[in-house]
Amino acid sequence: MTAHLTRGAHPRPGRRPVTALIGRHPVGLALIAPYAAFLVLVFAYPFGFAVWMSFHDYFFAAPGAQVERPFVGLENYRTVLGDPGVRKAFGNILVFLLINVPLTAVLSLTLAVALNQAIRGRTFLRVAYYVPYVTASVAVVGVWLFLFSSDGLVNTVLGPLAPDPSWLVNETLAMPLIAVFVAWKQLGFFILLYLAALQNVPKELYESAAVDGASAWQRFRSVTVPAVRPATTLVVIVATITGANLFTEPYLLTGGGGPNGASTSPVLLMYQRGIEQGNPDVAAAIGVLLVVGVVSVSMINRRLLERS
């Protein structure tokens, strides 16, 4: 893996033995030290603890309380994998990701390219796309209910074409709708990422492409898309990760993962089992499975997208 990652940044020259041992720029270790220290001080304990918990019969107790926490091996994982509710939640999140991630990547790149051009009212437009991202979820959820409830604006416009049962209480449509909702809410974030990336695309590339008579579409495909590929990797990975952590929307928008569990996400289950019901061991097992899944998906994405 290390070899692969190293290849990511540099064309590799022939290595000498010393550099093979510590790398060509050992000073990098110094630069990254503050971050590593943070990881050790703040992150490692809770995370390591969560992993440890998932192999024990564990619950949180007051300091000084005498409680038994026997090692149970894979028992929590067996509980989790044997629970149809958990399997359903993982299926739900997969549906979510399959819709949300491509939609996010395509829309945000397209809109960022359009917004990057010198057009009148650019400030206004950029603010417009950014606004849903900064707005608190409680308020945005209210708006979405206004649009997609049974007698909401969307169904009024659709008239007889409105789905029955309506969007948010329809087991087939609830999760896709949440995927679209999240794409819409987060789009401002990803547009910003692309906008910043577009600033670094050398103008000469466009100029030479234009000299060759390439159409706008061809310039987009052969100049823009390859030039912002690192940003695309970032967008896809970040969208996958935030998507996999989906919690607020099913909690607020579909009233705790409704209808009938159709929009339950793994993190929502973790919240229910771990924090509400006091079974952090089971929640930790769900969490570990989720982390393993997301890391693998991200690594695959990265491998695919950063391949030259």
Partner 1 sequence: MSTRTLGAAGTAPTVTPTPVARRPGTLGRVLRAAALIAFSLAFLFPFYYMFIGSLQAEPDTSPAGAFPTDGLTLDNYREINTEINLLRSLVNSGIFTGGVILGTVVFGLLAGYALAQLSFRGRGALFSLVLLVQVVPFQLLLIPLYVLIVRGYGLADSYLGMILPFAINTTAVFIFRQFFLQLPADLFAAARVDGASELRILWSVALPLVRPALLTVVLLTFIGPWNEFLWPFLITKQTDMQPLAVSLANYLSNVAARAANPYGAVLAGACVLAAPAVALFVAFQKHFTSNNIGSGVKG
Partner 2 sequence: MRRTVPAAFLALSLGLTAACGGGDSGAKADSSTKGPITIWLSNNKEELAWGNAMVEAWNGQHADQKITAQEIPAGKSSEEVIGAAITAGNAPCLIFNTAPAAVPQFQKQGGLVALDDFDGAKGYLEQRTGSAAEQYRSPDGKYYQMPWKANPVMIVYNKAVMQKAGVDPENPPLSTYAEFLDTSRKIKSSGAAQAAIYPSPASQFFQSWFDFYPLFIAETGGKQLVEDGKAQFSSAEGQRVADFWKTLYAEGLVPKEQYNGDAFGEGKSAMAIVGPWAIPVYGDKIKWGLKPIPTSAGKPAAEIKTFSDAKNVAMYSSCQNRGTAWEVLKFATSQEQDGALLKATGQMPLRANLTATYPDFFTEKPAYRDFADQAGRTVEVSNVPNSITIWQTFRDAYSESVIFGKRSVADAFGDAAKKVDGLAGQR
Contact residues for partner 2, defined by CB under 8 A: 1-2, 39-41, 44-49, 51-52, 59-67, 85, 141-142, 145-146, 149-150, 165-166, 168-169, 254-261, 272, 275-279, 295
Closest approach, Cβ 15 to partner 2, in A, equals 20
* Interface with partner 1, residue 220, by CB under 8 A: no
Contact partner, 156, from partner 1, partner 2, none, Cβ < 5-8 Å per class: partner 1
> Residue 165, preceding bond cis, omega within 30 degrees?
yes
Contact partner, 66, from partner 2, partner 1, none, Cβ < 5-8 Å per class: partner 2
Q: Which of 153, 158, 300, 304 binds partner 1 (CB under 8 A)?
A: 153
Round to whole Å and give the CA distance between 241 and 96. 12
Round to whole Å and give the CA distance between 74 and 71. 9
Contact partner, 127, from partner 2, partner 1, none, Cβ < 5-8 Å per class: partner 1
Length of the chain: 308
The two three-digit tokens of residue 113, written as one number = 């390219």
* Interface with partner 1, residue 101, by CB under 8 A: no
CB closer to partner 1, 175 vs 246: 246
Give the three-class secondary structure for 56: strand
Contact partner, 9, from partner 1, partner 2, none, Cβ < 5-8 Å per class: partner 1
Contact partner, 13, from partner 2, partner 1, none, Cβ < 5-8 Å per class: none
Helices (H) and strands (E) in the chain, counts: 17, 0
Mask: binding to partner 1, 36-65, rule CB under 8 A, as x and -? Answer: x-xx--xx-xxx-xx---------x--x--
Round to whole Å and give the CA distance between 249 and 267. 11
**Tokens 């509710």 belong to residue:** 85
Convert 51-89 to b/e letters by CB count within 10 Å (16 or more is b). eebbbbbbeeeeeeeeeeeeebeebbbebbeeeeebebb
Round to whole Å and give the CA distance between 228 and 196. 10
Site for partner 1 in 243-302 (CB under 8 A): 244-245, 247, 267, 270-271, 274-275, 280, 283-284, 287, 290-291, 294-295, 298-299
CB closer to partner 1, 164 vs 204: 204
